[in-house]
Chain A
Amino acid sequence: DTAVSQTPKYLVTQMGNDKSIKCEQNLGHDTMYWYKQDSKKFLKIMFSYNNKELIINETVPNRFSPKSPDKAHLNLHINSLELGDSAVYFCASSQDALQETQYFGPGTRLLVL
């Protein structure tokens, strides 16, 4: 009964490929997020969705496109992968309030060769 799950856990791919990462939460939360953690462990928000609507869209290349089919799912599709996209991508969820705790998934380790 994992709260926030991500698939796949590891992803190794070639430059130029397109890949997707899936995220699901069973906490009944309204808000979901994607974060990118680089090799120096720096964690930065990429996107946030509230009840399937995009509310935060940081300066992220257009090659990254989030999709939320329902409020329990937030997927991340990446086109034309580049070497610099190699990182750990974390999905998180929270209730719809700024003081609420965010619950993180285990991460997807993406390596672009």
Chain B
Amino acid sequence: AQSVTQLDSQVPVFEEAPVELRCNYSSSVSVYLFWYVQYPNQGLQLLLKYLSGSTLVKGINGFEAEFNKSQTSFHLRKPSVHISDTAEYFCAVNPHPQGGSEKLVFGKGTKLTVNP
């Protein structure tokens, strides 16, 4: 079975500072990896995803993530955050078709708060 660990439940940063939100996963099969963002009182929307190929994935709003197979990590980064990036961020995994439970498994989320 797949599982996802987001190591930080809350990350406060100042505006224009860089940020990294950490995500580690465990799986006995290959996985697809996703980062979703949830703004206050809204549903989730996709930031970026890794399916295959280049391990550095670029997403919307200036975010990027790097897949590291040896460390089973998929950390999310942004070089300079804005107040509007304040939100809950969820890492998620989905198994390749060859195996797994065929469902998206979410981490517990990281609350990013950007202060002026």
**Chain A positions near chain B (C-beta within 8 angstroms):** 4, 40-45, 48, 55-56, 58, 90, 92, 98-99, 101-107
Listed A/B pairs (25) with beta-carbon separation below 8 Å: A4-B43, A41-B38, A41-B88, A41-B111, A42-B108, A43-B44, A43-B106, A43-B109, A44-B106, A45-B103, A55-B102, A56-B103, A98-B94, A101-B34, A101-B46, A101-B49, A102-B44, A102-B46, A104-B36, A104-B43, A104-B45, A105-B43, A106-B42, A107-B41, A107-B42
Known: A98-B95, A99-B32, A99-B94. A56 touches B102 (CB 8 A): yes
Question: Chain A: which residue is nearest B50 at the CB level?
Answer: A99
Q: A43-B109, A90-B44, A92-B43 are in contact. List 8 more A-B contacts (CB 8 A).
A: A41-B108, A41-B111, A98-B32, A98-B96, A104-B36, A104-B45, A105-B43, A107-B43
Min distance, Cβ B55 to any Cβ of chain A, angstroms? 16
**Which residues of A have CB within 8 Å of B45?**
103-104
Question: Chain B: which residue is nearest A41 at the CB level?
Answer: B109
**Which residues of B have CB within 8 Å of A44?**
106
1/0 per residue, CB under 8 A from A, across B40-60: the answer is 011111100101000000000
**Which residues of A have CB within 8 Å of B43?**
4, 90, 92, 104-107
Count, chain B residues at interface, CB 8 A: 25
Q: A104–B104 Cα gap in the complex (Å)? A: 13
Known: A99-B51, A106-B43. A40 touches B108 (CB 8 A): yes
Question: Chain B: which residue is nearest A90 at the CB level?
Answer: B43
Q: Is the CB of B106 within 8 A of A98?
A: no
Question: Chain B: which residue is nearest A97 at the CB level?
Answer: B97
Min distance, Cβ A9 to any Cβ of chain B, angstroms? 9
Q: A44–B44 Cα gap in the complex (Å)? A: 13
CB of B25 within 8 Å of the partner chain: no
Question: Chain B: which residue is nearest A9 at the CB level?
Answer: B41
Cross-interface CB contact of B97 among A41, A56, A58, A98, cutoff 8 Å: A98
Q: Which 5 A-B pairs have the closest CB atoms?
A: A104-B43, A104-B44, A43-B106, A101-B46, A41-B109
**Which residues of B have CB within 8 Å of A90?**
43-44
